[in-house]
Amino acid sequence: MKKKILISTGGTGGHVIPATIFYEQLKDKFDVFLVTDKRGSRFLNLEKYKVTVINTPKLARNLFLLPLNLIALFFLTIKSLFFLKKNKIKVLITTGGYMSLPICIAAKIFGIKIYSFEPNMVLGRVNSIFLRYTEKIFCYSDKIINFPKKYLNKIVLINSLLRKEFYSVSTNDKNVINNEINLLIIGGSQGAELFDNKLKKLIISLSKKYKINICQQTGPINKKKIEDFYNQNNISYQLFNFEENILKFISNTNLCITRAGASTLSELTYLNIPYLAIPYPFAKDDHQYQNALFYKNRNCCWILKQDDLTDDTLENNLINIIQNKDDYLSKKNSMRNFSYKNTWNNTNEKLISVINEN
């Protein structure tokens, strides 16, 4: 009988996408289940995975609401206990976030082995709470900020988790940008209203100097406004939302402006697409900036802080990237060197061996 593994996720795409990759990596060797909250379920094909929704509301910071939070957490933990017992779960893998709290507490009560995943360069709050109880924590680096030294032996370094279809795509080997810019704009699963508004002047300016094609991720609120802008300025464009796979939009991309979620940066780096990261400054513990810095220190990207973002600084950064062809090619070469060992089979063997040996 196959060992039963539960993967806990929810909230944003940054939590859910890695959970689906764990699922696909492990499903042939183990009997795998997924549990998520309602927010996370919108990023899942509910017919493809064995999914149970245990909706954990976001915990309010208001002290007056603390009793209600504790009551909700208690009942969700009881629900999680029933779920774990009914399905005879032996291993829990959590991709972090507050939505994993009840299932982690329940797993601890039952003595179920817990594995964590930390893709960011700053240790997440829930991962921090349960670190003492985890068997191992899967990470991309052993230099994670706020990681307690006494638990460093629990870190298992793995390659960046990528969806399986990424490995069948030819990476972007086009060299320098000449007269045509194919610009990809990625705002992340929580949207990027700043990108929807702040990039307009830049795009108009670039369109006067180059042939420009835009592929932009946006949400439903601003979609019509953005369509009107591009149509009025006769600029070639495609719009897409977070649920759509970016693979269909990247074949000709030669430059990207992006937020700095861990999954997005992993994908762009693997696909060999030079990118300017503008980290979301309100991410917890400024982890997006640290994610971008991880790749910048390996000469894989450029960074522009949102606090420094003006029309002039943004345009100057982009023009410098386009015109400094040696630096552009250097970034592409560094990305190739960073990713060449990242294969589906390498990651698969690592995950299975770690779970089987503990």
- pLDDT tens-place string over residues 201-214: 889 999 999 999 99
Task: Assess whether 142 and 260 both reside in one domain.
Answer: no
Please tell me whether residues 140 and 268 are part of one structural domain. Answer: no
Residues 150 and 62 in one domain: yes
Examine the domain organization and report whether 137 and 211 are in the same domain.
Answer: no
Asked whether residue 106 falls in the same domain as residue 206, the answer is: no
Look at residue 190 and tell me whether its pLDDT is greater than 60.
no
| Residues 145 and 236 occupy one common structural domain | no
The total domain count for the chain is 2
Domain span including residue 207: 167-339
List the CATH number of the domain containing 333.
3.40.50.2000
pLDDT in tens, 23-47: 999 999 999 999 998 888 888 887 7
Chain segment 315-329, per-residue pLDDT in tens: 999 999 999 999 999
The two tokens of residue 275 are 């990118």
Q: Is the pLDDT at 62 greater than 80, yes or no? A: no
> What are residue 139's phi and psi, to 5 degrees?
-140, 165
Specify the range with the lowest mean pLDDT, choosing from 3-17, 59-73, 198-212. 59-73
Q: Quick check: 189 pLDDT over 60? A: no
Residues 261 and 353 in one domain: no
Same domain, 134 and 261: no
Shared-domain flag, residues 195 and 150: no
Same domain, 98 and 231: no
In this predicted structure, what is the pLDDT of residue 243?
A: 64
The length of the chain is 358
Residues 62 and 184 in one domain: no
Please state the rounded mean pLDDT for residues 166-189: 82
Least confident of 68-77, 154-163, 253-262, 297-306: 68-77
* Of the listed ranges 61-70, 292-301, 321-330, the one predicted with least confidence: 61-70
pLDDT at 60: 56
